Structure 1
Amino acid sequence: MNVKKSKAFTLIELLVVIAIIALLISILLPSLSRARELSKRTVCSANLRGIGQAMYIYAQDEPGVFPAIAEIFTGTGNNMVLFRPADRTTPPPTTGIPSPTVDLWALVRQNNTTPKQFICPSTTDVPDPAQDSLAYYDFESERNLSYAYQYQHSPNRQPIGTSSEPIFPVMADANPYLKGKVTTPINIDRTGAFRGNSNNHTNREGQNILFQDSHVSFEKGPDVGLSGLHNAGAVGRGRDNAYTVHAATGQVFVDPGNNPPTSTQCQLGTRSDACLVP
């Protein structure tokens, strides 16, 4: 009986197959990576939207305001402290230097949200390990918070809440000056706007921003805040960098992004100024 022998792959044919597979992988991997990032971006957006809803629930028990544990700070010098791990189990003072991270933890203490919701999946951050939210008054460290919150303890800014401007930015991906790789002020131009974005998402393409009316949008640049005239209130959108404080040019307040906050100071320019920290 004759038995047909199957033809085996030659070395050249095998190398061709391997090369084709490698080529297909190189083509597909960027698409898969892009799809994963877009999926994480969607989860991040949902996190912020949920926090926005939690703020409205919080405001039902307060006089219509979003979390602001300390009072307006009228002192001189440093006016902000980020994270209080040394005295995390001690109630924060309602006077003295305020902490916006304590403000956010108030949502966890009242069970309006969970520590996990403060983590953007595009980052390496991890949820706060607290098992009993009532035992603490702040996040354990910056690794447990991926988002920035409007600083509202300046004399130049009224507390934000249910009656604030609907398009006022309330929270967003972390401030690149306080939690990122940006170390020097950046003017908003074609390259500066890109480099001034949050470090949370791949290639710093932009940031998810939560607005007062609880809608979230992914913005390609940080200049989404209100613009306004001195003592005349807000008159439009798109002039104010949400990650920096603005200064006056004549009577018009313009924020090109060259006045970033520090880990101890956030001096708002006027009541329409947005500055999200940390």
Structure 2
Amino acid sequence: MNCPKCGTQNPDDAQVCTSCKSQLTQPPGPTETVQVKTSRIAIASFVLAILSPFAFFLAAILGIKTLAITSIFTAMLALILGIISLVQIGLSAGRVTGKAFVSIGIAILAVFFSLMFLQTVLPRTRSVAFRMVCGSNLSGIGRAMLIYANDYDSALPRAGGRDTIWQPKINNWKADNRIDAFGLKRDGTGGSATISSSLYLLIKYAEIMPKSFICDKETRSTEFKPAKYGVRDKEPEAFWDFGPEPSKHCSYSYHIPYCPYPLSTASSDPGMAVAADRNPWLDPSTDTTGFKWDDQTKTGGRENIKGYQKGNAGPHQREGQNVLFLDNHVSFEKQSFCGVNDDNIYTYWDGTDIRQGAPPVISSQPADKLDSLLVNDPPLNNSK
């Protein structure tokens, strides 16, 4: 190293010239201080990520839709700001921090969006699963009806006698014979029978089990077990109905057999509805007020359903009903007017619009052989 003052050659590591004693190297200057700051965008993202789920669940409790929608947009904004802050931090060469805020915020949002997804999807998935089980029950009932019809001259199950009338309770469900069970005269005429007692013939003669008549979506219906009513020494096929309260043990409606137009596999139209979920007009838990087949407007309140859905069965959120047709296929129908010629399967035709019809009562009858009228026994304290 040459001295810049006198030109003397000095060792490379010398700091002072050996000749003139001049300083050969400059002392290090003051170190530049780098100021590190936390990203305000990251902080904003973190705060919004905390507020959004809180606002959403508060909206769910209070039933405020606008607040729920706002919370979702807030969560999306928090996610966007989090991404922007990560880019900012990455380009700052260590001058900006805040990754911890972003990481925690994104974790909160991930949990929030997951809960929202589960809240939306799981009930729907469960609903579809219940619908499929219910449809499977009706398929089994349909197969049993074919077996029964094959043994009884193509006629579908009909309890009682030739001119038995429909009543919500039979004479004696534990009777030893048909005469006593339905209160028939000795010549087999007269008497009364329930809708469920006709279906119960499938248990007696077609080897179907009582649990097949329960829709899992109907929490108030339970499988018929004779032991519940104090009978423990007989099998279910020994009886004539689903106990003393049949409406509690049968979830399905059935085309009324006590009428001039009972169904037959030999002579009835294959498009006739045979059985389905409960008739909403005979189900106290289902509100049919305001039903109109062509009404697409939504009602307010907790149900928030369209006017035509007021005519659908209750168990499947009024979205429709599983229906068994005479050709033995089962389908989930979104409207109740799914019979022959758009006939409403839950009402009887009163000469007006066939898709609307008139609500049934115990004494109702189909208008003709193409008028499906699926009914079920109302609760004993609600019979009409």
TM-score interval (norm. to shorter): 0.7 to 0.9
Secondary structure of 1:87's counterpart equals coil
TM-score, length-scaled by structure 1: 0.80
Q: How does 1:158-237 map to 2 (within 5 A)?
A: 158-179=262-283, 180-184=285-289, 186-190=291-295, 191-201=306-316, 203-226=317-340, 237=341
Percent of pairs identical after alignment?
32
Q: How does 1:138-153 map to 2 (within 5 A)?
A: 138-140=241-243, 141-153=246-258
CA contact (8 A) 2:254 2:374 kept: yes
Q: How does 1:102-117 map to 2 (within 5 A)?
A: 102-117=197-212
The AA in structure 2 aligned to 1:89 is K
CA contact (8 A) 1:73 1:153 kept: yes
Shift in alpha-carbon separation, 1:206–1:161, aligned structure 2, 3 A: same
Match of 2:346 in 1: 243
Q: 1:154 aligns with which of 256, 259, 282?
A: 259
Q: How does 1:1-278 map to 2 (within 5 A)?
A: 17-71=107-161, 73=163, 79-84=165-170, 87-90=172-175, 91-92=181-182, 93=184, 95-124=190-219, 125-130=221-226, 132-140=235-243, 141-155=246-260, 157-179=261-283, 180-184=285-289, 186-190=291-295, 191-201=306-316, 203-226=317-340, 237-238=341-342, 240-249=343-352, 254-262=353-361, 264-278=362-376
The AA in structure 2 aligned to 1:117 is S
CA contact (8 A) 1:162 1:212 kept: no
Deviation (angstroms), 1:13: 6.2
Q: Which moved more, 1:215-224 or 1:187-196?
A: 187-196
Equivalences, count:
247
Shift in alpha-carbon separation, 1:241–1:72, aligned structure 2, 3 A: farther
Looking at structure 2, the residues matched to 185 and 10 of structure 1 have their Cα atoms a distance apart, in angstroms, of 56
Secondary structure of 2:348's counterpart equals coil
Cα-to-partner distance string for 1:69-90 (whole Å, 9 max, x where unaligned):
234548xxxx421344x72212
Looking at structure 2, the residues matched to 50 and 73 of structure 1 have their Cα atoms a distance apart, in angstroms, of 29
CA contact (8 A) 1:185 1:260 kept: no
CA contact (8 A) 2:286 2:313 kept: no
Secondary structure of 1:48's counterpart equals helix
The AA in structure 2 aligned to 1:196 is G
Secondary structure of 1:272's counterpart equals coil
Deviation (angstroms), 1:108: 0.6
Secondary structure of 1:45's counterpart equals helix
Secondary structure of 2:113's counterpart equals helix
TM-score, length-scaled by structure 2: 0.59
Cα-to-partner distance string for 1:43-75 (whole Å, 9 max, x where unaligned):
11111011000001111221111101234548x
Secondary structure of 2:149's counterpart equals helix
- Considering fraction of residues, name the structure with more helix: 2
Secondary structure of 1:172's counterpart equals strand
RMSD: 2.4
Deviation (angstroms), 1:255: 2.3
Deviation (angstroms), 1:102: 0.7
Deviation (angstroms), 1:158: 3.8
Looking at structure 1, the residues matched to 338 and 224 of structure 2 have their Cα atoms a distance apart, in angstroms, of 29
Looking at structure 2, the residues matched to 136 and 149 of structure 1 have their Cα atoms a distance apart, in angstroms, of 19
Looking at structure 2, the residues matched to 89 and 51 of structure 1 have their Cα atoms a distance apart, in angstroms, of 23
Deviation (angstroms), 1:23: 2.7
Q: Which moved more, 1:171-180 or 1:17-26?
A: 17-26
Listed as ranges, the gaps of 5+ residues in structure 2 are 1-98, 176-180, 227-233, 296-305, 377-384
Cα-to-partner distance string for 1:174-224 (whole Å, 9 max, x where unaligned):
1011124135473312233211100011x2100010000110011010101
Deviation (angstroms), 1:139: 1.2
Shift in alpha-carbon separation, 1:257–1:96, aligned structure 2, 3 A: farther
Select the structure with the greater relative contact order (CA < 8 A; seq sep ≥ 6): 1
Looking at structure 1, the residues matched to 191 and 292 of structure 2 have their Cα atoms a distance apart, in angstroms, of 33
